[in-house]
């Protein structure tokens, strides 16, 4: 990855390092994100006590690979007894950090001035101690997975939530996606019981997604539904003989008189 094409900028200034992650980083493959970490970490290792300011203000959203990169950088800083502060202006990015529980590891602030101020007062990472496991993510992921499983069951049993089975499957996919993404973040952030629960929820979300694909395939292959009452009425109408008009002859009536 050449410097001009790099999806980040790295600048050393006034006693700390500023790392700006650019939107194009959300478009690259997982291996390229890993390569970014391989390029940055040696620069951090060369410092006695690195002070890292990660600027996420250019990002509109953040994927799981980006979260994994931040955790990897934080571990490199922690190993050198350094400090790390994150600047994030976008609400969606900040919410991802909060759901993953990463805001308990670093100061997350919206402006550069606040980030610089937090950098000066942030204690070395070795003094922060292990962060408490956050159960917010696993709980949200569990609720989404249970809801997705319920939608799958109602559709599978022939009583979908919506008249259109495909619409029910799309709702299933949305809920399963929430469960998979949040449980994946839980695996990255947490340890111990929370990480185990996150892994189990991830498997459930993937399994429900597979079931949703099967239901969607079945819905696409199913013949159109015909109203049986309407069809029966149509058949009865076709089978009823039409009355024939008979014209009596006036001449025969006159003769009878």
Residue extents of the structural domains in the chain: 8-120, 160-220
Q: What is d(CA 186, CA 205) in angstroms, rounded to the nearest whole number?
A: 14
Task: Going residue by residue through the chain, which has 257 residues, state the pLDDT in tens, using 9 for 90 and above.
Answer: 545 578 899 998 777 899 999 998 888 888 888 899 999 999 888 888 889 999 999 998 888 888 889 999 999 998 888 889 999 988 989 988 888 888 888 899 999 999 988 887 766 655 444 444 567 777 888 888 888 888 888 877 877 766 777 777 788 778 888 888 887 777 766 666 777 777 788 788 888 888 777 777 776 765 554 455 555 555 555 555 555 444 455 455 555 55
Q: What is d(CA 187, CA 194) in angstroms, rounded to the nearest whole number?
A: 8
Q: What is d(CA 231, CA 188) in angstroms, rounded to the nearest whole number?
A: 57
Angle, CA of 110, 29 and 66, to the nearest 5°: 25
Q: What is d(CA 40, CA 33) in angstroms, rounded to the nearest whole number?
A: 11
CATH number of 8-120: 3.30.750.24
HSE value, Cβ hemisphere, 13 Å, CA-based, for 233: 5
Q: What is d(CA 138, CA 186) in angstroms, rounded to the nearest whole number?
A: 7
pLDDT of residue 129: 44
Global pTM reads 0.49
Q: What is d(CA 205, CA 183) in angstroms, rounded to the nearest whole number?
A: 9
Rounded to a whole number, what is the largest CA-CA distance in the chain? 132
Q: What is d(CA 249, CA 26) in angstroms, rounded to the nearest whole number?
A: 92
């Amino acid at each position: 990855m050449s410097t001009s094409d790099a999806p980040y900028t790295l600048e050393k200034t006034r006693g700390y390092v500023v790392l700006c992650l650019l939107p194009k980083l959300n478009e690259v493959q997982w291996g390229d994100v890993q390569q970014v970490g391989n390029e940055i970490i040696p620069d951090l290792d060369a410092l006695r006590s690195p002070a890292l300011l990660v600027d996420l203000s250019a990002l509109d959203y953040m994927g799981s690979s980006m979260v994994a990169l931040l955790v990897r950088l934080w571990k490199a800083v922690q190993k050198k007894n350094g400090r790390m502060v994150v600047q994030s202006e976008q609400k969606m990015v900040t919410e991802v950090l909060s759901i993953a529980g990463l805001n308990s590891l670093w100061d997350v602030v919206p402006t550069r001035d606040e980030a610089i101020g937090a950098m000066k007062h942030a204690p070395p990472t070795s003094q922060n101690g292990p962060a408490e496991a956050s159960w917010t993510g696993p709980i949200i992921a569990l609720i989404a997975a249970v809801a997705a499983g319920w939608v799958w069951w109602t559709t599978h049993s022939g009583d979908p939530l919506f008249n259109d089975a495909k619409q029910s499957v799309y709702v299933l996919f949305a809920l399963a996606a929430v469960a998979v993404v949040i449980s994946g973040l839980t695996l990255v952030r947490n340890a111990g019981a929370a990480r185990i629960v996150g892994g189990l929820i991830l498997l459930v979300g993937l399994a429900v997604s597979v079931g949703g694909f099967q239901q969607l395939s079945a819905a696409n292959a199913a013949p159109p539904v015909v109203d049986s009452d309407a069809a029966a009425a149509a058949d009865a109408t076709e089978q009823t003989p039409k009355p024939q008009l008979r014209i009596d002859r006036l001449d025969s009536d006159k003769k009878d008189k």
